[in-house]
Amino acid sequence: MRLLSWNIHKGIGGRDRRYSLARVIDCIEAENPDIICLQEVDRHVRRSHFDDQPRLLSRYFRCHSVFQANVPVGGGSYGNLVLSRWPVESRHRITLRQESRKPRGAQLLVVDAPEGRLHLVHTHLGLAEQERHWQMTRLLGHMLFRSADQHPTVIVGDFNDWRDTLAPAALALNGFAQVTAPVVRFRTFPAWLAMGSLDKAFVRGGIDVRHARVVRTSLAKTASDHLPLVVDFHLK
């Protein structure tokens, strides 16, 4: 099974600042993922031509679609999107907003995959280190997260964790192993000259990770300001 996680920057290129959802689609299609986790997905926002990106992407890939709008922009919004080849058995969304900071959230899905049920947690964390640690503690302690403890779990998304401090803290204490390690192999930002390992994946339970990598094609380097992360795995 293949999972792709990517901050698509609303479909706006990191260097040329040109909006093109087609570039994002072409890059995803080249990887042929079964589960697609996207951050910074626009819906009805001027900068992205008022496109309903969740609808356009789900229609193109013919996938089950779950969108979480986090940040209001004008008359629209942007947030997190999960597309899955396989049915989504349950879906929840929780807020990870701290006081007056930018709204953040997490999607908690149970995916009915061919090898069994997978607990998929998809998020985009804040810019401040203290904020991120608060968000991760809230997420891991939330009753909706705990309700799926019996399933193999993957947590994936844009962690904004430049110093990689979350892995040895709350995540390790809750039994999660970091897939995207060592971090020097998983630099994803900025796309054209990647220095930071911001896009991460963690697993717990019966998940056998076969391979994980960053997509470094010329198309990926122009389509967004982040590079995509791809994880190949099986459920034991």
* pLDDT (tens digit per residue) in 22-73: 999 999 999 999 999 999 999 999 999 999 999 999 999 999 999 999 999 9
Task: Kindly list the distances between the CA atom of residue 194 and the CA atoms of 22, 58, 131, 154, 191, in Å, as whole numbers in the listed order.
Answer: 22, 29, 24, 24, 5
Task: Kindly list the distances between the CA atom of residue 20 and the CA atoms of 42, 47, 223, in Å, as whole numbers in the listed order.
Answer: 12, 11, 7
Q: How many structural domains is the chain composed of?
A: 1
Contacts of 150 (CB under 8 A, 6+ apart): none
Closest by CA position to 219, among listed 5, 30, 60: 30
* pLDDT (tens digit per residue) in 203-226: 999 999 999 999 999 999 999 999
Task: Kindly list the distances between the CA atom of residue 206 and the CA atoms of 34, 80, 115, 209, in Å, as whole numbers in the listed order.
Answer: 18, 25, 11, 10
The CATH number for 119's domain is: 3.60.10.10
Distance CA(154)–CA(199), nearest Å, equals 13
Is this structure's pTM higher than 0.95? yes
Question: How many CB atoms are closer than 10 A to CB 210?
Answer: 10
Closest by CA position to 109, among listed 132, 85, 136, 82: 82
Query: Which range marks the domain in which residue 106 is found?
Result: 2-235
Backbone angles phi, psi at 200, to 5 degrees: -135, 165
* pLDDT (tens digit per residue) in 117-152: 999 999 999 999 999 999 999 999 999 999 999 999
Backbone angles phi, psi at 113, to 5 degrees: -80, 160
User: What's the confidence (pLDDT) of residue 99?
Assistant: 85
Backbone angles phi, psi at 222, to 5 degrees: -105, -25
